[in-house]
Structure 1
Amino acid sequence: MMMNLFSSFDPTSNFNVSLNWLSTLIGILIIPPMFWLIPSRLNMLWTKIIMTLHMEFKILLGNYKSQGSTLIFIALFAIILFNNFLGLFPYIFTSTSHMTMTLSLALPLWLSFMIYGWTNNTMFMLAHLIPQGTPPMLMPFMVCIETISNMIRPGTLAIRLSANMIAGHLLMTLLGNTGSMMSIYMLNVLIIVQILLLTLETAVSMIQSYVFAVLSTLYSSEVN
């Protein structure tokens, strides 16, 4: 019996080793066959997604500095998308619902942007703390607000992803636990609701991986 609603998200350990985190690497097994076989529909779909993301990220970064820079954000989108999708399957650990995973993605990216920006474009970073057209009296407050908003960016990226993944899974778990107490008619309704929620979670998985990658791209474009 669960002592806590969130205990279903806890990693379990066998032989003092948490094997649940291996689910993060399962997506890698799906990728290699696409590059060794005759182009399939899956390969063509994935190529189309990559090219679309590349064109969009190139616009966000700027054409003159986008050579190869979009690849890291496409890879980030891919790893989050694979992990979000895998978490929808029964008995597979959802690694993106844990701050350990999401902060490990957001914090190094944000730190690298900040170190690069403050090292190479110090004056631009200082000017960025005061939005254009700010009255002189409000400048000290705007510097404080912009600094705080900049500092919490990795936290908001990580919390947004993990909270969205937890919310849907938790709702499905709560509804699923009530199934044993329902009549046969209500059970049919519950199954339909669960299928609709699963469809919604599939959309959320794609949207959240896209949002994470786009926001990371925007944060990168701000330091150049």
Structure 2
Amino acid sequence: MDDVTLGPGDLAGTGVYAARDFAVGEVVLSYQLEPLDEAAYLALPAGMDLFVHGYGGRRYLYPVPARFVNHSDDPSCYQDFERGCDIALRSIARGDRITIDANEETSRELVTFVDAYRHALREGTGALLTGLVDRDVRLWMAGRATRGREAYVATVSEAELVSLSEVEWLVGTGRWEALCSAEAETARGRRHQTMLLKAIAGNWQIVYHHAG
């Protein structure tokens, strides 16, 4: 952490600051996310859940100092999710606050959730789909209402829902819920899908699904 230092900020009272000058395009800090299963998530100390994000249907804990990089509408860095680093968008002077656009994290979470959902549909395995829906999920499909994970997986499999396209998102003001609108190919033809997702125990899950 020689290149950055911690100071006052908005994430648990902490922020990240440059300990030296950075040029445009330079890596400011690198990080490696820690995968968490549900048991590990529930065992986290109070307040640590703030630093957990769900990507591709799995939970990940951001390490120090990356977890304390604050949001800004005019960020000094952007996240390279593939490389696991924050990269300078402009020249950064020593002492400047390191910031990112946290909306990019939310977008990444939702895009990778859809990727995981599509993968589960292609594979046709209930185990993959089960991990993406809430235990009390409610589904309305083909004029029939069902409730619970097992019923959801069985109904979706029976309908032969095989793909999603034209995906659009409306993210809630609290960031922890999102509404998905999409088109799907099913055994009955093309059908509109509306899914309500919530971040539950650190991971995005479908809590309500309406299939037109």
Q: Same fold by TM (over 0.5)?
A: no
- TM-score (normalizing by structure 1): 0.28
- TM-score of the superposed pair, with normalisation by structure 2: 0.29
